[in-house]
Amino acid sequence: MNHNKKKILKVTALFVFMFFLGWGAGSLQKQQMKKTVETVSVQNQADNWGLGFGAEGTQPTGNVTADELKKYNAWYVGDKNKKTIYLTFDCGYENGNTEPILDALKKHNAKATFFVVGHFLESAPDIVKRMEEEGHAVGNHTYHHPDMSSISDLASFQKEIDDVASLYQSITGKEMIKYYRPPQGKYSTENLKMAKELGYNTFFWSLAYVDWNVDNQPTKEEAFDKLLTRIHPGAIVLLHSTSKTNEEILDELLTKWEEMGYTFAPLSELIAES
């Protein structure tokens, strides 16, 4: 009898042990799966490009570091020890300001990058040709200017990019340089991976101001207050070609930056030095 009781107790103990062992392994597996899901969620999370400014004349911090961006062939700023400015313009549509902007750039022998959307290419092909002929780069700002961070499949992402590149080639007879700027600065890690996979260099910015609202343009003084006090070595400057203020101040702005000891360089030099 005692022998049978001992046998039953042993079997019961073994069963309890195996139950908790299985429960523990299952719980651990669930925790690991949860961590994996959380990691993927963080990696794919949509974000808006943002900056934090410090002392005057110093580079701002981005919400992603320059070193992290370089993993995806992406930049927001150049060398902090070189007083170089990289001029970029986002072109959503043409409203009469782009040619005076080109005139000012030509006067200062400054080469810029113009990030264009499909509508700009369709409505202003002669201006696009002038950009190319005068040595500026014409980059890809997508065809429809959507929130690209909401696009998770490569085919849809590529179509937004390829449609712009194809239209540019039909206008100029040349292949479009593989520079990409996310519309509105909205992006995800997956977007950066896809852009890199397609051979593109992605460019954010380290200096911009609220110049895009054509119905509420900043004054000259307001523009200079932002653009002169926040300029810094290695700045990638974002301006909008639709801004009447930018068209009116650009010549003087470039002069003031030159007087501060800055020179202008194309994004190709930034890539070559990285």
Domain CATH number, residue 244? 3.20.20.370
Q: Which of 119, 215, 240, 251 is an active site residue?
A: 240
Whether 163 sits among the annotated catalytic residues: the reply is no
CA distances in angstroms from 186 to 87, 110, 163, 191, 205, listed in the order given: 20, 28, 20, 9, 12
86 and 29 belong to one structural domain: no
8 and 77 belong to one structural domain: no
Examine the pLDDT at 34 and tell me if it is beyond 80: no
213 and 148 belong to one structural domain: yes
**Distance between CA atoms of residues 201 and 132, nearest Å:** 19
In sequence order, the β-bridge partners of residue 75 are 203
Q: What percent of the chain has pLDDT over 90?
A: 83
108 and 27 belong to one structural domain: no
Examine the pLDDT at 38 and tell me if it is beyond 70: no
Q: Which pLDDT score is estimated for 46?
A: 79
Whether 90 sits among the annotated catalytic residues: the reply is yes
* Higher pLDDT among residues 5 and 168, named by residue: 168
Average pLDDT over residues 207-221: 98
Average pLDDT over residues 229-244: 99
Examine the pLDDT at 175 and tell me if it is beyond 70: yes
17 and 105 belong to one structural domain: no
The answer to whether position 163 is within a domain reads yes
The answer to whether position 72 is within a domain reads yes
What are 53-97's pLDDT values in tens digits? Answer: 999 999 999 999 999 999 999 999 999 999 999 999 999 999 999
The answer to whether position 269 is within a domain reads yes
The answer to whether position 48 is within a domain reads no
**Distance between CA atoms of residues 160 and 173, nearest Å:** 20
Q: Which of 244, 242, 43 is nearest to 141 (CA)?
A: 242
Sort 235 into a burial class: Cβ within 10 Å, 0-12 / 13-18 / 19+: buried
220 and 89 belong to one structural domain: yes
Examine the pLDDT at 49 and tell me if it is beyond 80: yes
Do you know the residue count of the chain? Answer: 274
The answer to whether position 60 is within a domain reads no
Examine the pLDDT at 20 and tell me if it is beyond 50: no
Structural domain containing residue 261: 65-273
Give this prediction's pTM: 0.84
Regarding beta strands 84-91 and 235-240, do their DSSP bridges make them parallel or antiparallel, or are they unpaired? parallel
Say if residues 103 and 80 touch (Cβ distance below 8 Å).
no
What is the average pLDDT score of the chain?
89
Q: Report how many domains make up the chain.
A: 2
The answer to whether position 78 is within a domain reads yes
The answer to whether position 83 is within a domain reads yes
22 and 71 belong to one structural domain: no
Task: Locate the DSSP E strands across the chain.
Answer: 47-48, 51-52, 61-62, 74-75, 84-91, 112-116, 137-140, 179-180, 186-187, 201-203, 235-240, 263-264
Tokens of 3: 């022998």
189 and 78 belong to one structural domain: yes
Examine the pLDDT at 25 and tell me if it is beyond 70: no
Element housing 8 (H / E)? helix 2-44
**Distance between CA atoms of residues 241 and 103, nearest Å:** 13
**Distance between CA atoms of residues 243 and 91, nearest Å:** 10
* Higher pLDDT among residues 29 and 204, named by residue: 204
Q: Which pLDDT score is estimated for 206?
A: 99
**Distance between CA atoms of residues 133 and 267, nearest Å:** 17
109 and 29 belong to one structural domain: no
28 and 85 belong to one structural domain: no
Q: Which pLDDT score is estimated for 36?
A: 33
139 and 238 belong to one structural domain: yes
Element housing 129 (H / E)? helix 125-133
214 and 101 belong to one structural domain: yes
Q: Which pLDDT score is estimated for 22?
A: 46
Q: Which of 90, 136, 141, 211 is an active site residue?
A: 90
